Structures are given as structure tokens and as C-alpha cells.
Structure 1
Amino acid sequence: MPKKSFAALIAAAALSACAPDNAAQNTASAGGAAQETKLLNVSYDVARDFYKDFNPLFVEEYKKRHDGAAVSVQQSHGGSSKQALAVANGLQADVVTMNQASDIDLLVKKGLVKADWQKAFPNNAVPFTSTTVFLVRKGNPKQIKDWGDLAGEGVKLVIANPKVTGNGRYTFLGAYGYGLKTNGGDDAKARGYVKKMLANVEVFENGGRAATTTFMQRNIGDVLVTFENEANLSAKQFGRGEVEIVYPKYSIRMDSPVAVVDSVADKRGTRAAATEYLNYLWSKPAQELGAKLYLRPADPQVLAAHAAELPPLETFNPNEVFGSWDEIMPKYFADGGVFDQLGTRK
């Protein structure tokens, strides 16, 4: 893989992560022209490619619907929990587009988002889903076929850190769910498998895109465990035949919930535009764009039309196996929780 093309991607990603202060929400141009509405979307790490293409679609649609009125959207991307904390601590996001509900629930607890946010949009406010897959080196030299192979001797893994990223949490819970299914629900055996797998992790990165960079550009590890859309992007656009995707037989489902940050949108007068922005995620153009970028669209017709790129896969909902996110987060990912217990290296 030529380093130049991937380096250009990373540089662009870095620029998109540096969202400027949007304190001056609506600015009028000289001569009293119509005001421009500015939105800030705070999102998770590997969603940057989708929103890079989605935002121009929305801007054009907004102009058509509002007689040429201008709207602009700025992005901030990073590890999902870090992003949620940034908003909780004052980053003025008009909308948040995350990869697990607990990140938005944190903003509910801070009084920034309404408690019934999941009722504001279709499908419990989830326009796309994804799943966790494996990216391996050309020819799959370690013969990785399913989750169990990740615990094999001499296999080196790269994953996002479950302590700070949704991507990493889905990896951990996906492995744990596989362990439970394979061992007939025996928790002790499932923990034993997860402990062996975590011992093979070469790098815990601080975000999904950072993990991709480590695997692809720095050439570290035998397997990158990441979301399906990120794996496909890496394999087809930047891997240039040097990597392959392996689909496990049974994996975890990732939901990507969205919400208006009510306190910010009301203060800055952007609620209407912010709501329209998120609603447009369910439009046909947006659902098609998501599918082309390997996100699984909520629209079943669009998903079915892209079955060749997004093959049917048996997945499980982490909330049905491990409880609500309010239960999952302290039990598994708080300091001293299950992840820390199983990930300790002796």
C-alpha cells in the first residue's frame, strides 16, 4: 500500500477532528443577506468518511427546501467516550452521532439531551448499524476464520481501547458473546477465552481510526479487529490487495444512535436545522451513501439491494446478552471492571 495515499487520509482526518469554536452560530453577510446556519456534529472516530460525503448532500438539500438558505456543518471526530465527555464538558455540539447509546445517555444525565431522545427519530434514533469483523494480512497467514482463532498462539492483535472507545467495547463484548455462545453460556469458560485473546493484543489504540493507522501504516499486528465499514474502507480503498476481510460466523451488532443536543440547539436557535440534519440520515440518498460506505442502512430495501457488499450475518444485540449500557459500563469497563481483570498481564 503506498504510504502517500493513506497519509493523505490521516491528514484529512486530523483536520476534520479540529472543529473550530462555533459560538457565533448565525452570521449575516454584508448588506443584510440571509443568515448562514452553522451546525457542529460531534461524532465517533471512524464515522468521518460517511459525514465527509453526507454533509454536502444535506447542504444542497437544505438550500432546495429553504429557498437557497445557507447551512454549513463542521465535524469533530475521536474516540466515542472522549467525544461524549467533550460535549459534557462544554464542546458546543448541535448534534451528536455516536456508536453506542451510553454516550448519549451521559449527555442526558448532564441535562444536555432530553431523556426521550430515542423517540425523536425512526428506529430508536439509529439510522445505521454495523458489526465487528477482522482485517488480516494478504493470504491470511495466521488462518484466522473466527473469534476463537484470535486467541491462538503467536497471533498479534490491534484493537481500539475498550476503556475509551465504542469500537473497542464492541470488540470486547463481541469476543465475550462468542465465548458464551461457544461454551453454552458458561461464564468462566467465556472469561478464559477472552483473557487469552486479550493477551494477544499488541496495541490498544485510542480510537478506531488510530487502530487502523497502526495496522495499515505502521504494519503492526496480524489482525485488526474493527467495524465492518472501517475494515472495508481499509481493504478496498487503501489496502490495495495487501489485506483481506474475515467475517466471523457470529458477531456483535453495533448501533449508531443520533441526537440533537437540546441545550445547545435551543440556546443557539439551531433546533430546526439540527433536527432536519439528523432526519435526512433516513433519506434514500443518505441510506444509499451509508451502504456504499459499508454501513448497514436502517432501510431494509436499501440493505437488501447491497447484500453482495453487506452479506447477511448472524449478530447479537449486546443489551440482550449483557444488560443495558447503564449496567454494562460499570461492570465491564469501569476501573477494576471485567475488562481490567481479564486484560491484566502477569
Structure 2
Amino acid sequence: MRNVRIARRGALLLVAAMVLGSGASAGAQSRPPQNILNVSYDPTRELYDDYNAVFARYWKAKTGQTVRVEQSNGGSGKQARAVIDGLQADVVTLGLAYDIDAIAQRTSLIPKTWQSRLPYNSTPYTSTIVLLVRQGNPKHVRDWDDLARPGISVITPNPKTSGGARWNFLAAWAYARSKRGGSDASARAFVTAIYKNVPVLDSGARGSTTTFTERGIGDVLIAWENDALLAVNKIGPGRFEIVRPSLSILAEPPVSLVDGVVDKKGTRRVAQAYLNYLYSPAGQ
């Protein structure tokens, strides 16, 4: 009888363990999907199309939960204002630290110490500014000086709304300032001469790329390197070429969690993981 009782007790424990185990598994599998919104600047569309899919697979394998990453792209300054005005971004991945600072200063959504929370001042990637010309370089554009020549049509976005445009401005300014006898006054005059050659100021970098590559306006586009490569390799193979100026700038676009939104939505864990994963080998 003792052996029978032990056997029956063991069977009951096994059944209980199976029931509890299946319940825990069902609970893990039934975690509801979460949606997060990444509010980003213009030229990151292709980057985050790829990254969002990679992260979603990683998160599903790690947690069993489905995450859907929604994407909003536009001029960096314009995107920052949208968040300030109420756009519910879980994360912001903008073109300039200045734009995230603006959110931190004008709202309580992001702490003013945001830049110290992730490696490299919250900058997971860098880029630079180059010049894109039409195939054969018919206007013989070699360096920044050529953009200030009479008769040259230059395409660049509006620095009031575009983070990329501000990097463009700073790169041209740095070039003028670096020349022998360069000063703030000479740099201002040089940049002013370039902007006098700009026929249209789009609100974002991608809009300027479209103006140059698809609308056929302008002799030279001041562009993020990745947008210039996109034009050369995908938009119009054989129609454009890249000119690398003698001096450019290291652009460091930063990222941040939007604390006030993720805490309200309950998405802090997945949104933080989304940013952390940018620094992983797979993310890079």
C-alpha cells in the first residue's frame, strides 16, 4: 500500500506540475502585443525599416512578446516640435542634440540629463556631409567654394526645420572658418553667398533629395552621406556622383527615451531595449 500511495502521490505532483507549466507557458504566449512609436529625422527611413524588423525578431525570441514599431520621419526640428505639441513618441532619434534638448527644456517628458544615459552621449551612429552632383559633374563642383559661385544652383533643406540642414550649415561654416584669415565674419559672408544660390528650402533632408533627384532642380545637393549613397545606388544609378569636400563635419545624431510617454503607456521596458539594441553587434 505504501508503494501505491507513493506512486499515486508522484502522479498527482506530475499532473500538477504539467498544469502549472502549461498555464505559465500560455500566460507567456498570451502577453498582448505592444506598439511603440519612433519619431525620427528624415534620412533614417531605410535604416529603421531594417532595424525595426531585426529588433522585433529579437524581442519576440527573448520575451515571447510581439512588438510593432511605428515610424514617423520628418525634419528633425519639425519632429521635435511635434513631440512638444503632443505627438506620443516612445523614443526620439533625431538629427541634433539641440532638438532633444528643446523637448527636455520645454516639457517634462525627458530629463535634462538625457544625453548621459546611453553610451557615446546617446549617439549610436554617426554620419557626415557630402556633395551630390549630376553624372559627369557638369558644373565642376570640387569643394565648398564652388557652391558660392554665381550661376550655381544649390539644394539644401531649411535649417529652421531640418537637423541635416544645420549640419550642412555648420560644415560650410567650418570650412570658411578654417581658411587662412578665416573669421566669424568671413564665414557668415561665405554661408550667406551659398544660401543666395538656393532656389528652394524644403522642410527636411529627404524632401531636398527628392527635389534634386526627382524634380531635377539644382546643380548640387548638400546631403547626408547615406542619402547621397541612396541616390547613387538606388534612386538613379548612373545619374549622380558624390563629391567629398576637403573638409566636412562628423555628424552625431542622438537618441532618447521619452520618459513621460513610456511611463504613461507602460512601454518603458521594450522602448529602452529598443534603444539599447542599437548598440549591439546586430543593431550596428
Question: Is 1:69 aligned with 2:69?
Answer: no
1:20-59 correspondence to structure 2 within 5 Å: 33-59=30-56
1:4-19 correspondence to structure 2 within 5 Å: none
Match of 2:91 in 1: 95
Distance 2:192 2:260 in 1: 42
- How far has the Cα of 1:132 moved from its partner? 0.8
Contiguous gaps of at least 5 residues in structure 1? 1-31, 288-346
Distance 2:141 2:52 in 1: 37
Match of 1:152 in 2: 149
Question: Is 1:186 aligned with 2:187?
Answer: no
Encode CA deviations 1:69-105: one digit per residue, 9 max, x unaligned: 1111000111111111111111110000001001111
* Contact 1:183-1:189 within 8 A present in 2 as well: no
Q: Normalising by the residue count of structure 2, what TM-score does the alignment of the two structures yield?
A: 0.87
1:81 is aligned, of 63, 72, 77, to 77
- How far has the Cα of 1:184 moved from its partner? 3.4
Report the residue type matching 1:233 in the other structure.
Answer: L
Report the residue type matching 2:234 in the other structure.
Answer: Q
Distance 2:231 2:90 in 1: 30
Report the residue type matching 1:138 in the other structure.
Answer: Q
Distance 2:252 2:148 in 1: 26
Distance 2:98 2:246 in 1: 27
1:1-346 correspondence to structure 2 within 5 Å: 33-66=30-63, 68-109=64-105, 110-287=107-284
- How far has the Cα of 1:33 moved from its partner? 2.6
Higher relative contact order (Cα pairs below 8 Å, separated by 6+ residues): 2
Report the residue type matching 1:280 in the other structure.
Answer: Y
Match of 1:324 in 2: none
- How far has the Cα of 1:183 moved from its partner? 3.7
Report the residue type matching 1:75 in the other structure.
Answer: Q
Distance 1:275 1:82 in 2: 24
- How far has the Cα of 1:151 moved from its partner? 0.8
- How far has the Cα of 1:153 moved from its partner? 2.0
Q: Normalising by the residue count of structure 1, what TM-score does the alignment of the two structures yield?
A: 0.72
- How far has the Cα of 1:272 moved from its partner? 0.8
Greater Rg, structure 1 or structure 2? 2
Distance 2:137 2:158 in 1: 24
- Percent identity reads 47
- How far has the Cα of 1:181 moved from its partner? 0.4
Distance 1:193 1:187 in 2: 10
Report the residue type matching 2:217 in the other structure.
Answer: I
- How far has the Cα of 1:115 moved from its partner? 1.6
- How far has the Cα of 1:111 moved from its partner? 1.1
SS in 2 for 1:250: coil
Distance 1:187 1:113 in 2: 34
* Contact 1:157-1:201 within 8 A present in 2 as well: yes
- How far has the Cα of 1:62 moved from its partner? 0.4
- How far has the Cα of 1:187 moved from its partner? 2.1
